[in-house]
Structure 1
Amino acid sequence: MLPEGTAAPEFTLPGTAMDRDASEMSEYSLADALQRGPVIINFYLFDFHPECTEHMCSLHDLLWFDLDDRVTVFGISTDRSFSHRAFAETEELTFALLSDSDGSVAESYDVFYEEFNGHKRIAKRSAFVVDTDGTIRYAWSTDVPTVQPDFSAVKDALEGLQTVHSDD
């Protein structure tokens, strides 16, 4: 896992979000999102996996990131955009789900399994907060798929960024 204080690797990935036309797949880039504000990146193993559903729904249920429309949330897995669309619709997720179909983005963040239960190049459950300068300010990852992130620590990291920017 990349440590806090390092530069977040840039990416552009195809994905889907519920605020777009159901037939539309778009490309999302970290650089574009950082122009608006900080980014929360959540890597997860699979759409519809029970633990991943809990993880992504828990993130969705945290209304505090909706209060600041500058914060972008990306859910990233190696599943395809069409699976993401169905997952987002079923779970009523409102943030973008991105397809890292070859695992290269997860690998660049050093949060991937070469093999997991017979599947090659799968993202590990992990969370990052990236500031507008592209620096990782919070990093968390686990090798145990049933472990959920501490979203209060994510919130604290975001609040710390707001404090820094309000002092400028």
Structure 2
Amino acid sequence: MSIKTGTVLPDFELNDQYGNTFSSTSVKGKQAVVIYFYPKNFTSECTKEACSFRDSFEDFIAQNIVVIGISSDTEESHKKFASKFNLPFILLADSKKKVRKLFGVKNDLLGLVAGRETFVFDANGILITKFKSMNAAPHIEGALHQLNELPK
């Protein structure tokens, strides 16, 4: 079962596409965060989702929102994926699926494919909404809509 609305952003550390360690404590309580879990780099729906976040990235930056993608791909795979599609945000390598488990993101499609789920945390580090759909479109639109509804 995935974490519930109202939950504080869990503490975790993973390496990004450049081999740097990212800690959730570096953003918790400081700025809003969108964390999206996706199945695999270079697959059609995952590429579409990443490119949609890229295309909306300026909207997120304008509101001081951090965007983070997490999959079980390696740092090197993330680096190639980010480079090929000009992805300006953080991609984290969760090869042991520890953070996926921490957030309670389950597999989809009879357990064969890693789940696609997005979590939106406000600037206080509180989960305000989440989206679960194998279709990428609702994740970006929903995250932006929810964050636009927050008091300024």
Pick the TM interval, shorter chain.
0.7 to 0.9
Cα RMSD (Å)? 1.8
Q: Are 1:71 and 2:62 counterparts?
A: no
User: What is the CA–CA distance in structure 2 between the aligned matches of 1:131 and 1:152, rounded to whole Å?
Assistant: 16
The whole-number CA distance in structure 2 between the counterparts of 1:128 and 1:41 is: 5
Is 2:150 the partner of 1:155? no
Task: Mark the runs of 5 or more structure 1 residues left unpaired by the alignment.
Answer: 17-23
Aligned counterparts of 2:80 and 2:30: Cα–Cα separation in 1:
27
Aligned pairs for 1:92-131 (under 5 A) are 92-113=86-107, 115-116=111-112, 122=114, 124-131=115-122
CA drift at 1:35? 4.8
How far apart, in 2, do the equivalents of 1:53 and 1:93 lie?
10
1:113: how far off?
2.1
Q: For the residues of structure 1 that align with 2:141 and 2:46, how far apart are their CA atoms?
A: 18
How far 1:133 sits from its partner (Å)?
Answer: 2.5
Instruction: Give how far 1:149 is off.
Output: 4.1
Which digits, 9 at most, give the CA deviation of each residue in 1:115-166, with x for residues without a partner? 526xxxx3x1111111232211111113xx3x124223211221233x1xx4
Assess if the C-alpha contact under 8 Å between 1:100 and 1:106 holds in 2: yes
TM-score (norm 2): 0.87
Unaligned runs of 5+ in 2: none
| One-letter amino acid matched to 2:20 | S
Corresponding residue of 1:11: 12
Letter matched to residue 15 of structure 2: P
Q: Which structure has the greater CA radius of gyration?
A: 1
Asked if the contact 1:103/1:112 (under 8 Å) is kept, the reply is no
Give the TM-score, by structure 1 length.
Answer: 0.80
Structure 2 residue aligned with 1:21: none
Task: Please state whether the residue corresponding to 1:54 is helix, strand or coil.
Answer: helix
Is residue 2:128 matched to residue 1:137?
yes
Corresponding residue of 1:84: 78
What's the counterpart of residue 19 of structure 1?
Answer: none
What is residue 23 of structure 2 aligned with on the other side?
A: 29
Deviations, residues 20-76 of structure 1 (Å, cap 9, x unaligned): xxxx420111110235411110110001011100011011111311223x2111000
**Identity of matched residues, %:** 29
